[in-house]
Amino acid sequence: MNNLQRRLQTYKKLGLKLTPQRLAILEFLETTREHPSAEDIYNALKERYPSISFATVYNTLEVLIEKGLVKELGLDSSKKRFDPHLHHHHHFICKKCGKIVDVERSFDVVIPEELREFEVTEFQVVFTGICSACKGK
């Protein structure tokens, strides 16, 4: 069984209806290192799939979040961004262009005293600044 067949089998086991548009969305997410919005995905696919709608993209993303295949990032206040890379990692956000970059590094974090009574299940370090492309302009 090849990689594509394994992925399709995984999607079917999760109960995903595999339409050509949904498969295109899944393929896009699997091949990007970006953190796209629903609009980014729609714009990337609409020429190749003229019948795709923004609602299809958005609804598919909601299903993928529900199934645990994509995370919604709360990093951009202007629009929802999605991260198909589920492993624990951190992010850098450019304050000029909005680019979001994965930071693949571990950080030692001390849980603040005021959170000691809570159960912290996950944390994320977010760096903000100016990316190298914007810095060079």
Res 124 pLDDT > 90: no
Res 45 pLDDT > 90: yes
User: Per-residue pLDDT averaged across 103-114, rounded?
Assistant: 89
Res 101 pLDDT > 80: yes
Res 100 pLDDT > 80: yes
Indicate the average pLDDT of the chain: 88
Domain that holds residue 46: 3-83
Domain-terminating residue out of 63, 83, 103: 83
Q: What is the DSSP letter of 101?
A: E
CATH number at residue 114: 3.30.1490.190
CATH number at residue 29: 1.10.10.10
Distance CA 66, CA 54 (A): 19
Per DSSP bridges, beta strands 71-73 and 126-129 are unpaired
Whole-prediction pTM value? 0.81
